[in-house]
Structure 1
Amino acid sequence: MSAFSAINEEREIERDEFTPGIEPQATWCPGCGDFGVLKALKQAMPEVGKNPDEVALFTGIGCSGKLNSYFNSYGFHTIHGRSLPVARAAKLANPNLEVIAAGGDGDGYGIGGNHTIHTARENHDMTYIVFNNEIFGLTKGQTSPTSPKGHKSKTQPHGSAKSPIRPLSQQLNAGATYIARTAAVNPNQAKEIIAEAIEHDGFAHIDFLTQCPTWNKDAKHYVPYTDVQQSDEFDFDVSDRAEAAEMMRKTEERLYEGEVLTGRMYIEDERPSYGEEKRQIGEMPEEPLAERYFDEDAEWERTYDNLLEHHK
């Protein structure tokens, strides 16, 4: 029996399996949208048939970084803005592992913005959930990359002079192949979108609106919301890049006008993931690298030797 015998195990999965045996008391503030992410994630896992041994959850710094403390699976708490490169390494070493990364808007769109862009560009097969509350919550209320123009905070007492970034449009331009926005106030949609993102082959980016009742008093503007797939006003093809771009423009503009649009924004199923492309050109082995740690007869290759061979 290898250490990976639990992967692809055929059995019915229960939601409670993703609750730690000794459940820690969550330290999120009452009314925090982060509870909604945790609930939706736990509900999504049985939908896709994954058990805790098949999942690895990577988090960054901030309130969102506590997610894997309350979620029973393999987990890695990285430094600020660095959850994605660590998650990418895990997925490349063991493609059968279901990899999920999570971080806040400051973590993913600020200090880790470069990793977010290039992970999308390379289309790594993983799900990235960004807790977007338009504020730095854990560090007590500083302006973040998604704070609206004019927003007053400890770091911008006279109001932010900068326009917020547009994360959906940014990810489309970068190359993500599944892009969606959901909200903690819409738990059923959130569960469905997370399940779809996990099943998607490629980089799936979820901008998850999570109200912060402590440091962002404008959190109430996340209610009410409009599901663009259920509304008669919006009729666009999620697989059409131009139509998706226009829908994202409307979504990102209307958020700061008091209208919250959520739903699937763009889905591309034909583009191969980074790992698939690497295996196709022979730069990655078909057998997961991680298996070699448990195979006494495995022949190890050194990158150093391969580089020397190319330069002879």
Structure 2
Amino acid sequence: MSAFSAIGEEREIDRDEYTPGVEPQPTWCPGCGDFGVLKALKQALPEVGRTPEETLLCTGIGCSGKLNSYLDSYGFHTLHGRSLPVARAAKLANPGLEVIAAGGDGDGYGIGGNHFTHTARENHDMTYIVFNNEIFGLTKGQTSPTSPKGHKSKTQPHGSAKEPVKPLSLSLNAGASYVARTAAVNPNQAKEILIEAMEHDGFAHVDFLTQCPTWNKDARQYVPYIDVNDSDDYEFDVTDRVEAAEMMRTTEEALYKGEVLTGRFYVDEERPSYQQEKQAIGEMPDEPLAERYWDDDYEWERSYDHFLDKHA
């Protein structure tokens, strides 16, 4: 029997399956927005039809890195900023897995920023959730890439002199084919967006606003919020890159003025994923690479054999 026989098994899935049998006591602070991410993810996965055996959650370092300790699925706690390359490798080896990467704003937009831009550029088929609380939380309150200009912290006692990273615009310009923003204070929208992100074939980036009541007391609690897809004040085509870019810029500037805009900003269902592109040029087999480890009759290939043939 293959180790991957659970993938594709059709059965009803209960969200409680994603709660560990011996549930660890969460170490997130009371009022932390990270609880909202966990709840939305537990609600979304059964809706997508994924079992814990079909799910891999790769996390970085930080408060967000504890997510896979509280979700009963396959998990990989990676190095700081390195959740995406691990997630990419897993998805390439076994495309049947539902691969989710998660990290904080410092983890994803700072330390792992290069992996973020290139994973988006290549359009790997996975979901990337970034816990955006505008601060380094686990290390106790340093300025992060999304902290607003003028924000005072231990590392910037006189206030940050830098403009914050615009994550939605960065994602779109890098090449992500699904870009959305939601907030821990909006659980229904969060669940719907995570469902769409996981069902999307390509790189789905979800900027998840998560309040930090301990180390970022000056930040808004991201309420009240406006869903740009339901509001008559904001009309744009989520499939049009130009209109999406304009809406993203409006959204990112409004956040630091106290107006919280959330929703889907860009969706491209036509662009092939990285896996599909590689299969189209014959550089990736149709069957999962991981299956080969369980096939005693498989004749292993070595990449250097191809180069030797060309130069012999």
TM-score normalised by length of structure 2: 0.99
1:254 corresponds to which residue?
254
Contact 1:142 1:153 in 2 (8 A): yes
1:124 corresponds to which residue?
124
Bigger mean CA offset, 236-245 vs 218-227: 218-227
1:294 corresponds to which residue?
294
**How far apart in 2 are the matches of 1:115 and 1:222?**
27
Q: Once superposed, which parts of structure 1, at least 4 consecutive aligned residues long, lie more than 4 Å away?
A: none
1:32 corresponds to which residue?
32
- CA 1:196–1:311: 2 relative to 1, 3 Å: farther
Unaligned runs of 5+ residues in structure 1 are: none
**How far apart in 2 are the matches of 1:41 and 1:196?**
12
Please tell me the residue identity of whatever aligns with 2:304. Y
For residue 250 of structure 2, give the secondary structure of its aligned residue in structure 1: helix
**Offset, 1:219:** 3.4
For residue 220 of structure 2, give the secondary structure of its aligned residue in structure 1: helix
Cα distance per residue 1:158-183 (max 9 Å; x no partner): 00000001000001000000000000
2:207 aligned with 1:207: yes
For residue 233 of structure 1, give the secondary structure of its aligned residue in structure 2: coil
Please tell me the root mean square deviation across aligned C-alpha atoms, in Å: 0.8
- CA 1:310–1:44: 2 relative to 1, 3 Å: farther
Please tell me the residue identity of whatever aligns with 1:24. P
**Offset, 1:221:** 4.3
For residue 217 of structure 1, give the secondary structure of its aligned residue in structure 2: coil
**How far apart in 2 are the matches of 1:266 and 1:229?**
11
**Paired residues for 1:140-155 under 5 Å:** 140-155=140-155
**How far apart in 2 are the matches of 1:79 and 1:306?**
34
2:62 aligned with 1:62: yes
For residue 218 of structure 1, give the secondary structure of its aligned residue in structure 2: coil
**How far apart in 2 are the matches of 1:17 and 1:160?**
44
For residue 57 of structure 1, give the secondary structure of its aligned residue in structure 2: strand
2:266 corresponds to which residue?
266
**How far apart in 1 are the matches of 2:162 and 2:82?**
25
Contact 1:221 1:260 in 2 (8 A): no
1:14 corresponds to which residue?
14
**Paired residues for 1:151-170 under 5 Å:** 151-170=151-170
**How far apart in 2 are the matches of 1:63 and 1:76?**
15
1:276 corresponds to which residue?
276
**Paired residues for 1:69-148 under 5 Å:** 69-148=69-148
Q: Share of identical aligned residues, percent?
A: 81
Unaligned runs of 5+ residues in structure 2 are: none
2:245 corresponds to which residue?
245
- CA 1:310–1:263: 2 relative to 1, 3 Å: farther
Cα distance per residue 1:65-110 (max 9 Å; x no partner): 0000000110000000000001000000001111000000000000
Contact 1:221 1:259 in 2 (8 A): no
Cα distance per residue 1:34-59 (max 9 Å; x no partner): 00000000000111000000000000
**How far apart in 2 are the matches of 1:266 and 1:21?**
38
**Offset, 1:262:** 0.2
1:5 corresponds to which residue?
5
